[in-house]
Structure 1
């Protein structure tokens, strides 16, 4: 008998269009022998089920259900394809936990922690995970530009603390450009992290629980056509994503072990994709994504394909683990 699966997509952040693409790919690749998929758009102004003809039916938020032609439909599980808030920062994970509905991403604490770059790096540093030098700002703080430069140097990166897809990120080369970069970041979040520039090879490492085992997928090397791996590089084809990465076996072993350690230390579940830059042969963590892009062109599905895992197998595995945990 088919299980009813809500594929949640959209969200409240600047990433909602990317999330809709991911969600539609999940919908198109579900095993229809096992699952009946329902596309659910969660937007600030509405939560609705999207029928194949484009019509909309409101979601009852009390029990996360829909009613179609008088039939009350409850969901056996949720496939989370929301990048950013509320799908990647813990809110939905907590909501579904309270309702007792299994979902494919990590638990709410891990989602909230990994979405907060500052807190994530602080938790991992005692475990020997190397990172860039950093400086923190909250909205309303005095912006002491000389102090910032003294702490992290130039060039540096100014980032929104809780945002994805490189929204609110600027690379700053000169002191006079710092204030504008801070203003750009504050448009995305009321917290900022400013990090030293790491000069080295950038890689992306997917780690998933596959058939009950923590599995590190083939590593992807990121070569941006732009100054860094920004939105255009990620989504508009202005980069090369080379899998497997052109790094030595020793470097591959180091970053794979680090990514697996991060996954296990944080007690992660579901998907994760973490970004690293090698400095003097050592991987330095940039961030961890718990709801990475899931289109055919996205990095984690590319890595899975290199490992011999199709999109249908990738999504089926995620649902199986969620429904049986």
Structure 2
């Protein structure tokens, strides 16, 4: 039986590329070699390349996303397993390119990727489905605003964050009004659109959701207890947090979180891995954001949830490949 050629596509254009390489390695190691020929493809701003087992590189032909090896052998991929965090694999750019050249890939499509990468637009859509979120103010770089009015409306502390960024890059928890301007400048350094959000005083949870064997499945609910003020980059990737699976919540709250997380996933027309962040305050889950290409290194939350609930990483990854193969190209 002919094996399927799978490219595990990792890297990216942001500081998240280091995490993506670790995520890609776990997926590369986990895919079933009896069913798939598995290859590594690295996408960086300066180059796109195929990486063989000996560490030798060959350029990707961007006309059809194939590679010509020095041996004269051409490799065309049946499926691209997209595990890029941030741009261009999580914001729709790569998906739009793959759609154009007729390349099948895992995860959600161009529209869903672009939508969920934009925090403001995601929360605006989900509000129509009665999914609560923090009160917020949206600003574009260069736009005038009334600092005193924003602080009066949202209160202190508050969060200032880039509208389109991952891994908590550019986020500041502002406790004093003297720090407000610095936080705004810090967020605008990551993106030309920012969100300023009211502080939600409650338990933070991270919820893994995916479509698995024909149904929307909550993989698990993990309680986040950061050592720092919030779940920032250091807490996510450098061990500065406790991640407790399952979260220490009662059954009624668990069912409410699961229902809202699945409703958000289905309402947005999602496919593939996702991780949604919520603050549970007074028994109500408030949504912060949804990640469509969440971290998948051994230390990341989704693999932790899979391990706790006895779900095989091999099966999860294989399911993504098979769904992608079954897609009809437009």
Q: Which residue of 2 aligns with 1:67?
A: 68
Partner of 2:143: 141
Cross-structure match for 2:320 = 318
Residues 103-143 of structure 1 show CA distances to partners (whole Å, capped at 9, x for unaligned) of 11101100000000001011111110000000111111124
Residue in 2 aligned with 1:189?
Answer: 191
Shift of 1:262: 0.5
The counterpart of 1:200, out of the listed 199, 202, 205, is 202
1:138–1:190: 8 Å Cα contact kept in structure 2? yes
Equivalent residue for 1:210?
212
Query: Take 1:128 and 1:143, find their aligned partners in 2: how far apart are those partners?
Result: 29
Deviation at 1:147, TM superposition (A): 2.0
SS at match of 2:48: strand
How far has the Cα of 1:237 moved from its partner? 0.6
What is aligned with 1:273? 275
User: Is the CA contact (8 Å cut-off) linking 1:134 and 1:151 kept in structure 2?
Assistant: no
> Match of 1:219, SS?
strand
Shift of 1:313: 1.3
- Residue 77 of structure 1, aligned match among 76, 79, 97: 79
- For 1:234-273, list aligned pairs within 5 A: 234-273=236-275
User: Whole-Å Cα distance in 1 between the matches of residues 286 and 189 of structure 2?
Assistant: 27
- Quick one: distance in 2 between partners of 1:146 and 1:14? 33
Does the 8 A contact of 1:135 with 1:151 survive in 2?
no
The aligned residue for residue 169 of structure 2 is: 167
Map residues 83-122 of structure 1 onto 2, 5 A cutoff: 83-122=85-124
* Farther-moved stretch of structure 1 (161-170 vs 299-308): 299-308
**Where in structure 1 do 4 or more consecutive aligned residues deviate above 3 Å?**
none
Q: Which runs of 5+ in 1 are unaligned?
A: none
* Equivalent residue number for residue 128 of structure 1: 130
Provide the residue aligned with 1:151 in structure 2.
153
* TM-score, with length taken from structure 2: 0.97
Query: What is the rounded CA distance, in whole Å, between the counterparts of 2:220 and 2:25 in structure 1?
Result: 25
SS in structure 1 at match of 2:197: strand
Deviation at 1:304, TM superposition (A): 1.6
RMSD across aligned positions (CA): 0.9
Q: Deviations over 1:52-71 (max 9, x none)?
A: 22211000000000011112
How far off is 1:240 after superposition?
0.7
Give the equivalent residue in structure 2 for 1:19: 20
Equivalents in 1 of 2:149, 2:10: separation in Å?
Answer: 41
Check conservation: 1:16, 1:83, Cα contact below 8 A.
Answer: yes
1:10-35, CA deviations, whole angstroms, 9 ceiling, x for partnerless residues? 10112111111111111111111111
* Paired residues, number: 325
- d(CA) in 2 for partners of 1:151, 1:5: 50
Distance 1:63 1:318 in 2: 22
Q: Deviation string for 1:68-95 (max 9, x for gaps)?
A: 1112211100000100000000111111
Q: 1: distance between equivalents of 2:42 and 2:153?
A: 43
Residue aligned with 2:205, SS: strand
Structure-1-length-normalised TM-score: 0.98
3-state SS in 2 of match to 1:48: strand
* 1:306 CA displacement: 2.1
- 1:46 aligned partner: 47
Q: CA deviation at 1:150?
A: 2.1
| C-alpha deviation, 1:144, in angstroms | 2.2
